[in-house]
Structure 1
Amino acid sequence: MDRDELSAWLQLLETPGLGLAGVRRLLASLGSPQAVLAAGPPAWGALIRPELVKALQQPLPQLPELLARTLAWLAADARRSLLCLGDADYPLPLLNSPDPPLLLYLQGRRALLGSDAVAVVGSRHPSHQGRDNALHFAAALSEAGYCIVSGLALGIDGAAHEGGLKGIGSSIAVLGTGLHEIYPRRHEALAERLSEQGLLVSEYALGMPALAANFPRRNRIIAGLARGCLVVEAALQSGSLITARLASEAGREVFAIPGSIHSPLSQGCHALLRQGAALVENAQEVLDALEPSTRHRAATAAAPLPAPRAALDEPGLVLEAMGYDPVSLDALMARGGWSAAQLSALLLDLELTGAVARLPGALFQRRAQA
């Protein structure tokens, strides 16, 4: 990403009130971030509210400093990079979640974004047994090749990352701050290990402090990166239940470890079990639930594409296979014989042109005007 493109991204994403939905609407109709800014108020006015047009016209006083800080941060460490929604290595599970971020800041092993992953989340104040469970489950899943995704918080998150780093799958931490600041500070040493052996991820610009509202929002990235979400210990009001709900809405497996009926830290897990989460008592049960779909995806990726689909650059083929009802990525793959990577790229193009809408539950639907 060059300086001009980064500046355009920052201006769009930092414009007050515009939000990801507004930026997506502009990008879908006008193209790249530079093209959006070049289009000007007449084009913006057809897509966003007048007050947002006015906000986008205003210079951002912090933009020059933020741009310089970001460029310096990138240049200071080869492990640092940026990931845009349209990049070829944008992780497919996150792309196929209901609200994928447009720009991510990365530090560490970027290739881990392509791994099969399991989110392991839970209380910031776990019991000793809960912490041990998180560590042992994460280590076993990582040893089996799954990357462990969590939020770097105290308690279960930290234990999950520690376990993930013990195996070949490693671990990804999704932060609720900019990557310039590690929160909580007690995890600075863990974060450094993750940046060397695993990966740190944030959608927040450098300089974003630890704000309470940002942490529930980052949970959608934790859920979106993973094929399954394991809740170890959680109270009824735990943020971990937000992650589990988001995972379920994205069509991912949700697992919960049961506990004592007398423990408040078991009540969240028991609530999930009543709602249909899978009860697990050991890591093998998580692996058994995930492995069939892993084998299916591996077989699909290895199989040669049928000859009739050679002209895969024809969006009309995807629209024809889609029909007009909501449909999942797996269903479209089965109908057309496409690989997940090819189909996801086509769906992204169709979404950006407005021909296809992304729905909750990792579903896609052809828009009527298409």
Structure 2
Amino acid sequence: MDTEELTAWLRLTLSTGVGNTAARRLLAAFGLPQAIFQQTEQALLSCVTPAQARTLCSVPEELEAQVRATRQWLDGAAAAGTAPPQEPAPARRLLTLGDAAYPRSLLATEDPPLLLYVTGAARFVQGDCDPFPSTRCLAIVGSRNPTAQGADNARQFARALRAAGCSIVSGLALGVDAAAHEGALMDAGDPSLPATIAVVGTGLDRVYPRRNLDLARRIAQHGLLVSEYPLGTPPLPPNFPKRNRIISGLSQGTLVVEAALASGSLITARMASEQGREVFAIPGSIHAPQSRGCHALIRQGAKLVECAQDVLEELRLPAGPGPSARDPAEGTATVDGDGVGEPPAADGAGPHADLLAALGFDPASLDTLQARTGRDTAGLQVALLELELEGRVARLPGGWFQRVGSA
């Protein structure tokens, strides 16, 4: 993309009050952005409002600085702090709505972004590989504050689906998103597909939250990071619900692991449904607030899933080698006809089998466990510590404990 074309595209996206819908009308009427800005204000009125036409006839103050920053970003090596010296710098690309490499699945949605900033492994960004395989992308989203079991479910489902040849799409947020990206990076999968795609709500010259900086670096080595926002865009709250349409739009289906009733994950699920994509949800405890969103989705018609194979079968995708797609989170509960979680065989033996049975699959306090088991406080704390060290029990805030399925 030469500087003139880059300037025109950025000017279109930076024109205040001219949204994607109006911009697409202008592109349909006049062609490339350069042609739009050659029109008179009167000619523009055939597509936009008078206020929008006046805006388009003036040059945004920040345009020159944004063009310079974007050109430097496209031409330069990895920005300071985004790639350790021993790692190759991630490749970068700016995809326009008319680019042949623009994701076809997004083009089919109601509100595709005008521009997509993309960075990641060179073989996906600049090579012959399809960076956005619409039939092999699956979104995994959920709570920023998941239970220990919820985070593990996200990690193991992502790993199993990646092993089956899928790219995992999520939003780089804390909690379920981060766990899904981590799980996808655990398995090599198909090298011709990105391991995972992170759709972010900031400019790609920054990472939010900062706690996920190392994760973002690893994604850039084995997958892609994507944003519709100009460089320098901070983590503004409205950006994150808006970017969710890209997460669902890139994906053939969306799996919600844990979600409260009012959450961004349910926004993503709603958008997926509106885009004609499949929605899946993992059921959880009736006592856990993080499960209520998933239960609401299931009541509304989302597919209830217990293992990755359920997702693959619904989408008619073959299972691949690697971790079992039939049971990606070995050690988790299965659900019988009465809705009661039954512990796996491995938990039915050992010195603390009675404690695990008493704990069940809902969070419980020390006092509750003491009442259920009759153990003294000191002995109970020792047993819980042993189970925690074995990875079979997680300690939650407030002195609560929860059983965790082992991968």
- The TM-score range, normalised by the shorter chain, is 0.7 to 0.9
Give the gaps of 5 or more residues in structure 1.
295-370
- 2:154 equivalent among 116, 120, 134: 134
Structure 1 position 187 matched with structure 2 position 227: no
Report if the CA contact (8 A) 1:9-1:33 is conserved. yes
Report if the CA contact (8 A) 1:178-1:206 is conserved. yes
The structure with the largest helix share of the pair is 1
Q: Which amino acid aligns with 2:229?
A: Y
Structure 1 segments of 4+ aligned residues over 3 angstroms from their partners: none
Normalising by structure 1, what TM-score? 0.78
Give the gaps of 5 or more residues in structure 2.
78-89, 320-407
Q: Which amino acid aligns with 2:163?
A: E
Higher alpha-carbon Rg: 2
- 1:261 equivalent among 286, 295, 311: 286
- For 1:106, the equivalent position in structure 2 comes to 118
Instruction: Give the match's secondary structure for 2:315.
Output: helix
Normalising by structure 2, what TM-score? 0.71
In the superposition, relative to structure 1, how do residues 11 and 165 fare at CA in structure 2: closer, same or farther (>3 Å)? same
- For 1:37, the equivalent position in structure 2 comes to 37
- 1:83 equivalent among 92, 95, 117: 95
Q: Which amino acid aligns with 1:120?
A: I
- 2:198 equivalent among 143, 153, 173: 173
Report if the CA contact (8 A) 1:112-1:147 is conserved. no
Query: Quick check: 190-199 or 40-49, which moved more?
Result: 40-49
Instruction: Give the match's secondary structure for 1:113.
Output: coil
Task: For residues 109-146 of structure 1, give each alpha carbon's deviation from its aligned partner in whole angstroms, at most 9, with x where no partner exists.
Answer: 33321351000000000000000000000000001011
Shift of 1:46: 1.5
Higher relative CO (Cα under 8 Å, sequence separation at least 6) belongs to 1
Structure 1 position 287 matched with structure 2 position 312: yes
Task: For residues 126-171 of structure 1, give each alpha carbon's deviation from its aligned partner in whole angstroms, at most 9, with x where no partner exists.
Answer: 0000000000000000010110000000000000001111232500
- For 1:65, the equivalent position in structure 2 comes to 65
Q: Which amino acid aligns with 1:225?
A: L
- For 2:302, the equivalent position in structure 1 comes to 277
Q: Which amino acid aligns with 1:107?
A: T
- For 2:179, the equivalent position in structure 1 comes to 159
Q: CA RMSD in A?
A: 1.4
Q: Which amino acid aligns with 1:183?
A: Y
Shift of 1:55: 1.2
Q: Which amino acid aligns with 1:196?
A: Q
Q: What fraction of aligned residue pairs are identical, expressed as a percent? A: 55
Distance 2:225 2:115 in 1: 14
User: Number of aligned pairs?
Assistant: 294
Distance 1:54 1:224 in 2: 32
Instruction: Give the match's secondary structure for 1:270.
Output: helix
Q: Which amino acid aligns with 1:204?
A: Y
Task: For residues 256-287 of structure 1, give each alpha carbon's deviation from its aligned partner in whole angstroms, at most 9, with x where no partner exists.
Answer: 00001111001000000000000000011111
- For 1:327, the equivalent position in structure 2 comes to none
Q: Which amino acid aligns with 2:39?
A: A
Report if the CA contact (8 A) 2:164-2:318 is conserved. no
Shift of 1:103: 0.7
